[in-house]
């Protein structure tokens, strides 16, 4: 009996051992970072009006994706298949031939209540599967925002990170001769569309506008001839402006806290500048630094726990960090030259700054612990970086070198991504400086 | 009572056996039928040699060598992929030219050595005065083969020494053949996949060097994929809730699918490169 059992056991084990061909193991540790080829045929529409809207919307999306530097939209003339509907499975072979890795199909439909519905599907051409689908309902004349929302959806589906296309930029628009410049606040979509002046008709100059992260509100510094400059709040929707408070000294360099409830800024008293925090609801002022040096340009981390600022207490202007209550102040930059205008990334992982060194200006980023400093761009004069709401792109302004014949000296807005790639000019009506990036619009 | 014990033990064994067998069923990929493949007829004698070689063997000796233990196939390929070899396996090019010449030399003395296998065997193989270790071992192997044949089939002296030599040579070639793909082929494959591996969507993602995606796939003889690549660590990626990892997963699958067919590999050695496991990271 034991023999029978032994034979049976041997049979079982003998049958069970599989013969595997050996797998070849390869490691790949780098890809190519050329922009991903994407196909975006015109959004479909049932009638002439929706078709025309569809073409406009597709144009805005293609522009957004191309300008991000991560994608490259293939020319529509190369497309083979004509999509028939947003719910129809595409012929992937037709898109593979033109080397598209991703296909965006969309449709504009007119709803009975007068609004339009913009639907879109994102397809992975090589895996033959859908990556995502979304639809937006909006009044027809708000089609631009729906196009930007589709771009944000595509961006998030393909990169994992929130997009930044449905946002606006506020900047100081400059006109007039160099000796007597008129500066007014202007707002426009991040792709340059819809520029609207905000502070026309005011008799003061505005500097360093900053967006609130939670509401349609801007804070800026107003420059007067007869009294010290003051920080103002400006409601974009209503156009109302109010002074933040009456202070004996000059208040400047204001920034909102991440929850939009406080404004941190510098106040100058008796020739000394320090960082202060003002609670917007109680208008109570709290001192955060108390130092004979000039402490200015405060910026708060997205978790609201730390503040970075500029101070020259070490001899030259350098960047320091401290807790939100002003304790534990420590220096994080030690390079030569001067460091200014720190801005904490909304992602929390980096602080952008302007550096002046050897007569040149640089925009750079550094980790909040002071390591990993990287200079991204360099020019004759550039400063004032502002982050996109997803912490991936920096916008700043450059001034060209004034030439002897009187030309040059123009201020322009430029953008670059946080790895230093995709440096490009952002077109503005006339000269522009001091940009600020809004959060993603709801 | 005895019947009960026997039945119980049989059932236990059946369950354990099923435990061994079941995973094999789960692993079966959805496979499209392979196109018709011509069959090579193997003579019975060769079959004997091919299957007896691993049993005889010095698998340990073969493992210790670096790449130069495959002098014949590697030497032929060397002129073509000079650039890839430069990048990988730098020690390889130097030993290769050397064995190229002495290689034919040790082969020739075999016929003289063969007729006296019983005398040779007491000597340890290492004593042979050869410049390179790899040739030594293959000679030892062939000696062992002949020893086996001499032992097993003393009644069939139909094999003349020259026939034995030929079969021994073929067996020697077969020794390394089942074990691995050459470094240059691996490099070609990695370069082919990397060309389509587009990581622009991960520019600026946090910690890209941690986003490892392991893909497994099988190739047809013409270099096309048998089916969609499987993501070996897909559970890990899904549980991590890391969106960037999911994006890296999509980019990796896209890369492997987009760059087929991988038709630069030697179809004669299909069994070597039939199955791949590729680990892909967007950055070092």
| A26·B281 Cβ contact <8 A | no
pLDDT level of residue A127 (50, 70, 90 thresholds): confident
Q: Which domains does chain B have, with CATH numbers?
A: 44-177 (no CATH), 183-280 (3.30.1150)
Q: What is the pLDDT at residue B20? A: 79
Q: Does B70 touch chain A (CB under 8 A)?
A: no
Q: Do A89 and A236 belong to one domain?
A: no
Domain encompassing residue A179: 168-437
Q: Does A15 touch chain B (CB under 8 A)?
A: yes
Query: What is the count of structural domains for chain A?
Result: 2
Q: What is the pLDDT at residue A158? A: 93
Q: Is residue A412 one of the residues assigned to a domain?
A: yes
Q: Does B195 touch chain A (CB under 8 A)?
A: yes
Q: Do A203 and A307 belong to one domain?
A: yes
Q: What is the pLDDT at residue A66? A: 94
Q: Do A340 and A431 belong to one domain?
A: yes
Calpha distance A123→A61 (Å, rounded): 16
Q: Is the pLDDT of residue A269 over 50?
A: yes
Q: Do A154 and A186 belong to one domain?
A: no
Entry field: residues in chain B: 284
Calpha distance A217→B77 (Å, rounded): 69
B93-131 confidence digits (pLDDT tens): 344 343 334 444 443 443 443 444 444 444 444 444 444
> Helix B243-258 and helix B183-196: axis angle, to 10°?
110
Structure tokens at A334: 């030690």
Q: Is residue A22 one of the residues assigned to a domain?
A: no
> Among residues A111, A142, A159, which one ends one of the domains?
A159
Q: Is the pLDDT of residue A82 over 70?
A: yes
Q: Is residue A307 one of the residues assigned to a domain?
A: yes
| B194·A131 Cβ contact <8 A | no
Taking residues B150-155, report their average pLDDT.
46
Q: What is the pLDDT at residue B186? A: 87
pLDDT level of residue A225 (50, 70, 90 thresholds): confident
Q: What is the pLDDT at residue B80? A: 40
Calpha distance A427→B8 (Å, rounded): 83
DSSP state of B108: T
Q: What is the pLDDT at residue A312? A: 93
Q: Do A291 and A421 belong to one domain?
A: yes
Highest-pLDDT range among A365-374, B2-11, B174-183: A365-374
Q: Is residue A186 one of the residues assigned to a domain?
A: yes
Q: What is the pLDDT at residue B181? A: 74
Q: Is the pLDDT of residue A217 over 80?
A: yes
> Which of A22, A31, A71 is the closest to B282 by Cβ?
A31
Q: Is residue A81 one of the residues assigned to a domain?
A: yes
Max Cα-Cα span within chain A = 112
pLDDT level of residue B133 (50, 70, 90 thresholds): very low
Q: Read off the pTM.
A: 0.71
Q: Do A102 and A230 belong to one domain?
A: no
Q: Which long-range contacts (CB under 8 A, 24 or more apart) does B220-223 make?
A: B220/B34, B220/B35, B221/B34, B221/B35, B221/B37, B221/B267, B221/B270, B222/B35, B222/B261, B222/B263, B223/B260, B223/B261, B223/B262, B223/B263, B223/B264, B223/B265
Q: Does B262 touch chain A (CB under 8 A)?
A: no
Mean pLDDT across chain A, nearest whole number?
Answer: 90
Out of A4-18, A162-176, A233-247, B126-140, pick the least confident.
Answer: B126-140
Backbone angles phi, psi at B94, to 5 degrees: -70, -50
Contact present, B201 and A70 (Cβ < 8 Å): yes
Q: Do A108 and A198 belong to one domain?
A: no
Q: What is the pLDDT at residue B245? A: 93
Q: What percent of chain A lies above the pLDDT cut of 70?
A: 96
pLDDT level of residue B17 (50, 70, 90 thresholds): confident
A96 CB-contact burial (10 Å; exposed 0-12 / middle 13-18 / buried 19+): middle
Q: Is residue A11 one of the residues assigned to a domain?
A: no
Structure tokens at B210: 């941690």
Nearest to B202 by CA among B254, B248, B255, B238: B248
Q: Do A305 and A355 belong to one domain?
A: yes
Q: Do A207 and A77 belong to one domain?
A: no
Mean pLDDT across chain B, nearest whole number?
Answer: 65
What are the chain A neighbours of B243 within 8 Å (beta carbons)? Answer: 160-161
Q: Is residue A61 one of the residues assigned to a domain?
A: yes
Q: Does B253 touch chain A (CB under 8 A)?
A: yes
Q: What is the CA radius of gyration of chain B?
A: 25
Out of A142-151, B142-151, B180-189, B215-224, pick the least confident.
Answer: B142-151
> Among residues A129, A159, A189, which one ends one of the domains?
A159
pLDDT level of residue B160 (50, 70, 90 thresholds): low
What are the chain A neighbours of B275 within 8 Å (beta carbons)? Answer: 21-24
B191-206 confidence digits (pLDDT tens): 999 988 988 888 878 8
Q: Do A258 and A351 belong to one domain?
A: yes
Q: Does B11 touch chain A (CB under 8 A)?
A: no
> Which of A29, A69, A126 is the closest to B284 by Cβ?
A29
What are the chain B neighbours of A96 within 8 Å (beta carbons)? Answer: 258
> What CATH code is carried by the domain that includes residue A64?
3.40.50.10070
Q: Do A255 and A384 belong to one domain?
A: yes
Q: Does A131 touch chain B (CB under 8 A)?
A: yes
Q: What is the pLDDT at residue B121? A: 42
> Among residues A138, A159, A180, which one ends one of the domains?
A159
Q: What percent of chain A lies above the pLDDT cut of 90?
A: 73
Q: What is the pLDDT at residue B142? A: 59
Q: Is the pLDDT of residue A264 over 70?
A: yes
Query: Phi/psi zone of residue B115: left (φ > 0), alpha (ψ -120 to 50 degrees), beta?
Result: alpha
Taking residues A221-225, report their average pLDDT.
84
What b/e sequence results for A257-289 when a residue is b if at least 16 CB atoms lie within 10 Å of its CB, and e otherwise? bbeeebbbbbbbeeeebbbbbbebeeeeeeebb
Per-residue CA distances from A390 to A72, A164, A346 (Å): 20, 6, 6
| A30·B254 Cβ contact <8 A | no
Q: Does B152 touch chain A (CB under 8 A)?
A: no
pLDDT level of residue A237 (50, 70, 90 thresholds): confident
| B275·A23 Cβ contact <8 A | yes
Q: Is the pLDDT of residue A279 over 90?
A: yes
CA distance A376 to chain B (A): 13
Q: Is residue A24 one of the residues assigned to a domain?
A: no
Q: Do A267 and A402 belong to one domain?
A: yes
Q: Is the pLDDT of residue A150 over 80?
A: yes
Contact present, A299 and A344 (Cβ < 8 Å): yes
Nearest to A39 by CA among A100, A87, A121, A81: A100
- β-partners of residue B279 are A27, B214
The continuous run of DSSP H or E covering B83 comes out as helix B82-87
pLDDT level of residue B70 (50, 70, 90 thresholds): very low
Nearest to A38 by CA among A139, A161, A126: A126
> What CATH code is carried by the domain that includes residue A211?
2.120.10.30
């Amino acid at each position: 009996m034991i023999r029978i059992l032994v034979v049976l056991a041997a049979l079982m084990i003998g049958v069970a051992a599989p013969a595997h061909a050996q797998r070849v193991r390869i490691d790949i540790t780098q890809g190519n970072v050329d922009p991903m080829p994407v196909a975006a045929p015109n959004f479909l529409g049932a009638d002439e009006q929706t078709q025309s809207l569809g073409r406009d919307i597709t144009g805005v999306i293609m522009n957004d994706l191309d300008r991000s530097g991560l994608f490259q939209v293939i020319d529509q003339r190369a497309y083979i298949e004509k999509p028939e509907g947003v719910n129809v499975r595409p012929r992937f072979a037709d898109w593979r031939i033109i080397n598209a890795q991703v296909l965006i199909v969309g449709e504009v439909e007119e709803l009975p209540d007068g609004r339009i519905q913009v639907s879109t599907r994102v397809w992975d051409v090589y895996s033959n599967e859908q990556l995502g689908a979304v639809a937006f309902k909006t009044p027809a004349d708000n089609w631009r925002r729906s196009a930007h929302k589709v771009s944000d959806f595509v961006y998030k589906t393909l990169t994992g990170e929130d997009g930044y296309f449905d946002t606006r930029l506020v900047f100081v628009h400059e006109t007039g001769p160099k000796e007597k410049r008129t500066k007014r606040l202007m707002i426009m979509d991040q792709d340059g569309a819809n520029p609207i002046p905000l502070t026309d008709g005011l008799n003061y100059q505005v500097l360093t506008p900053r967006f609130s992260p939670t509401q349609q509100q801007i804070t800026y510094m107003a420059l007067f001839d007869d009294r010290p400059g003051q920080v103002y709040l400006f409601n974009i929707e209503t156009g109302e402006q109010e002074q933040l408070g009456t202070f004996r000294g000059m208040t400047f360099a204001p920034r909102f806290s991440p929850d939009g409830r406080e404004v941190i800024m510098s106040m100058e008293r008796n020739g000394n500048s320090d960082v202060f925090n003002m609670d917007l609801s109680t208008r109570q002022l709290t001192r955060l630094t108390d130092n004979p040096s000039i402490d200015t340009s405060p910026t708060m981390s997205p978790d609201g726990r730390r503040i970075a600022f500029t101070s020259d207490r070490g001899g030259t202007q350098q960047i320091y960090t401290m807790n939100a209550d002003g304790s534990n102040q420590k220096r994080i930059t030690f390079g030569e030259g001067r460091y200014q205008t720190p801005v904490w990334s909304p992602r929390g992982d980096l602080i952008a700054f302007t550096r002046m060194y050897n007569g040149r200006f640089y925009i750079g980023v550094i980790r909040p612990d002071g390591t990993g400093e990287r200079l991204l761009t360099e020019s004759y004069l550039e400063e004032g970086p502002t982050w996109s709401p997803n912490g991936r792109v920096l916008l700043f302004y450059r001034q060209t070198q004034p030439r002897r014949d009187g030309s040059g000296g123009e201020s322009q807005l430029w953008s670059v991504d946080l790895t230093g790639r995709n440096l490009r000019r952002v077109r503005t009506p006339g000269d522009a400086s001091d940009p600020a990036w809004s959060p993603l619009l709801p | 009572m005895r019947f009960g014990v026997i039945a119980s033990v049989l059932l236990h064994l059946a369950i354990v056996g099923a435990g061994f067998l079941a995973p094999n069923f789960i692993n079966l990929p959805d496979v499209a039928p392979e196109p018709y493949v011509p069959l090579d007829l193997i003579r019975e004698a060769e079959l004997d040699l091919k299957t007896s070689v691993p049993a005889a063997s010095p698998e340990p000796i073969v493992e210790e060598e670096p790449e130069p233990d495959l002098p014949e196939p590697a030497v032929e390929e060397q002129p073509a992929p000079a650039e890839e070899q430069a990048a990988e396996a730098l020690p390889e090019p130097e030993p290769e030219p050397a064995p190229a010449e002495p290689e034919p030399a040790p082969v020739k003395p075999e016929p003289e050595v063969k007729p006296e296998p019983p005398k040779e065997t007491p000597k340890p193989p290492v004593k042979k005065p050869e410049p390179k270790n790899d040739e030594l071992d293959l000679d030892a192997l062939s000696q062992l083969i002949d020893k086996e044949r001499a032992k097993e089939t003393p009644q069939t002296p139909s094999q003349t020494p020259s026939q034995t030599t030929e079969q021994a040579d073929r067996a020697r070639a077969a020794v390394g053949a089942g074990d691995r793909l050459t470094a240059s082929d691996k490099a070609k494959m990695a370069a082919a996949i990397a060309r389509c591996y587009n990581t622009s969507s991960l520019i600026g993602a946090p910690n890209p060097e941690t986003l490892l995606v392991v893909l497994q796939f099988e190739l047809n003889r013409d270099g096309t994929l048998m089916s969609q690549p499987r993501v070996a660590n897909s559970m890990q990626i899904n549980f991590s809730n890391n969106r960037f990892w999911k994006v890296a997963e999509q980019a990796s699958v896209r890369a492997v699918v987009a760059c087929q067919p991988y038709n630069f590999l030697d179809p004669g050695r299909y069994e070597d490169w039939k199955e791949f496991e590729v680990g892909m990271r967007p950055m070092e």
